Amino acid sequence: MRFPRGRQFALTWGIPDHFGGMTAAMLHRSRAFVREGGGSLTVLTLDDRPDYPELEWKLRAEGELIDEMQLLNIWDWLREHGVKRKPGGHDAVTELEPRADDEVHVRDGTVLCRRRSKDSGESAVDRFREDGSLLMTDRETDSKRVVVFYDESGAPVRSWKSVWAVYRYWLDALTEGKRSFIVIDSKTAARFVHSYQRDNVITMHIMHGSHRRSGDSDALRASRREPFEHAQEYDALVTLTQRQRHDMLADGAHPNELFAIPNSRAQTPSVPASAHHRGRGVMLASLTKRKRVDHAIRAVSVVRSRGFDVTLDIYGDGPERDRLQQLVDELSLSDVVVLRPFERHAAARFADADFSLLSSTAEGLPLVLVEAMAYGCIPISYDIRYGPADIIADGRAGFLADDGDVESLARAILREQTTTHDRLARMRRRAQTISLRYSDPVVSRQWARAMEIALESKRARRSGDVRPLVRARKSLGRLKRRIQRVTGLDR
């Protein structure tokens, strides 16, 4: 397969130490683009993390970054390359005097960033080169902002009125006027990208979460308003499910292009039905309120009270660990519900598990369900926006429960536990078949065609000639129908 000719970038805000979810999906997709398309790709970050050289080494050692993938942080790049001098006066700003309450980022003993927040919400930031010289000052006062860059001697060489302008400068320097595709994963990073419009750059913002508030189907999340208010300023928006795509249109989004493309997964070894230990549950989730892990624990308690010997291993870290452990102890489940630490490759635990649980308040598309299904582990999930109902054929390849209803979740586990061995084996095979639609080759082809359509759409908007766009859309339709026939999933 081939992607449209052009440079490939994936833009996110930063990469945390124990990442999952969006960051894991972004890195996996990027590897798939390189492997399936045969090109190269650069991952871009905007945060002030000081240890990117060590992080890149670690990610390569763990296989998260592969050959033909590069990791670039904006501030590290600017420390190395600087900015082009712009004629005119640029007033220098006094460097911050160190204070104990400053937020400081240090590399090898050198301060790279000093950040100070004021009570009014206005902030001041100084960034430095690795030799300690001043790189830039960023000041916000009276709703006005000035960002000044300095050369190695300390002389000001260029200034902007916003940090967004610095971001745009950086993207221009990386794309060099060449055709480029930027997939934006982070909603924080996406806030400035709608202001970045270039004839040679295709911007595609992928929404990893629900745009609607939990429990209120008509209300938009404040953090998701950006794609609606500036929909036509991105070249394309991407949702993870058709259901969310339809809801976005119904909710008033008017993007140039709107695609539904799921996250993908790598091929997993075939696991026989006999490998799964009946009654063993596995859950992969960050220990946060949004994941409602306490619901899963309570549901297991209900199932055990009805005479079924089920267990649950929960892999993940987060601020709710102590509270969840207390709940386990209160319910006398310490021998059967175990909170285990985060594991990078915990999905392999599904290989011998009977079922998996998902109890989140909302998702974009919970790839953890697909990972479980690929191993033949039966997924059991709340029917939330978005994903579970798009992935799970209730009673055929998994079980759905009413959103937020612990008793309903317990009943779903009981349905799985009382299913006959032969029928459960058929369900496991069906789940593995369904997971094929999320394989790297299948999903990468969808991305390649979506990029072609976004490119033709941009050309059409510039020229007024829509004929190439019509052809590209017809080709994408044929591709989707072919995928459905090959996988037998044209339900």
Res. 215 pLDDT band, cuts 50 70 90 = low
CA distance 342 to 324: 15
Range 186-211 average pLDDT = 93
CB 125 within 8 A of CB 114: yes
Give SS3 for 100: coil
Provide the pLDDT for residue 88. 83
The answer to whether residues 135 and 78 touch, using CB atoms and an 8 Å cutoff, is yes
- pLDDT the model gives residue 157: 96
Share of the chain above pLDDT 90, in %: 76
Residue 18 has, within 13 A of its CA and on its CB side, a CA count of 12
Q: What is the pLDDT of residue 385?
A: 85
**pLDDT > 60? residue 472:** no
* C-beta of residue 479 within 8 angstroms of C-beta of residue 446: yes
- Give me the helix-helix angle, 21-37 and 440-463, nearest 10°: 90
Surface-to-core class of residue 300, CB atoms within 10 Å of its CB (0-12 exposed, 13-18 middle, 19+ buried): buried
Measured between alpha carbons, how far is 209 from 167 in angstroms, rounded to an integer?
Answer: 24
- 487 confidence band (pLDDT: 50, 70, 90): very low
- Spatial contact of 200 and 175, defined as CB atoms under 8 Å apart: yes
Q: Beta strand pairing status for 41-45 and 69-73?
A: parallel
* Region label for 395, one of left (φ > 0), alpha (ψ between -120 and 50) or beta (otherwise): left
Give the pLDDT mean for 25-51.
97
Sheet holding 280-284, edge to edge: 337-340, 311-315, 280-284, 355-358, 378-382, 399-401
**How confident is the model at residue 452, as a pLDDT?**
97
* DSSP H helices in 70-115: 74-81
Predicted local distance difference test score (pLDDT) of residue 491: 38
DSSP letters, 416-450, are HHTS-HHHHHHHHHHHHHHHGGGBHHHHHHHHHHH
Beta strands in 163-285 (DSSP E): 180-184, 201-206, 212-213, 216-220, 236-239, 258-260, 280-284
Phi–psi pair at 127, nearest 5 degrees: -120, 150
Q: Mean pLDDT lowest for which of 40-49, 188-197, 395-404, 464-473? A: 464-473
Structure confidence by residue, pLDDT tens digits, 229-278: 888 999 999 999 999 999 889 888 889 999 999 999 887 777 777 789 99
List, as one string, the DSSP characters of 347-413. Answer: GGGGGG-SEEEE--S--S--HHHHHHHHTTPEEEEE--SSSHHHH--BTTTBEEE-TT-HHHHHHHH
pLDDT higher than threshold 60 for residue 469 = no
User: Which pLDDT score is estimated for 89?
Assistant: 80
pLDDT tens-digit readout, 323-364: 999 999 999 999 999 999 988 889 999 999 999 999 999 887
pLDDT of res. 28: 96
Distance between CA atoms of residues 457 and 480, nearest Å: 19
Average pLDDT, the chain: 91
Residue 216 has pLDDT above 60, yes or no: no
Distance CA 332, CA 307 (A): 15
Mean pLDDT of 40-61: 98
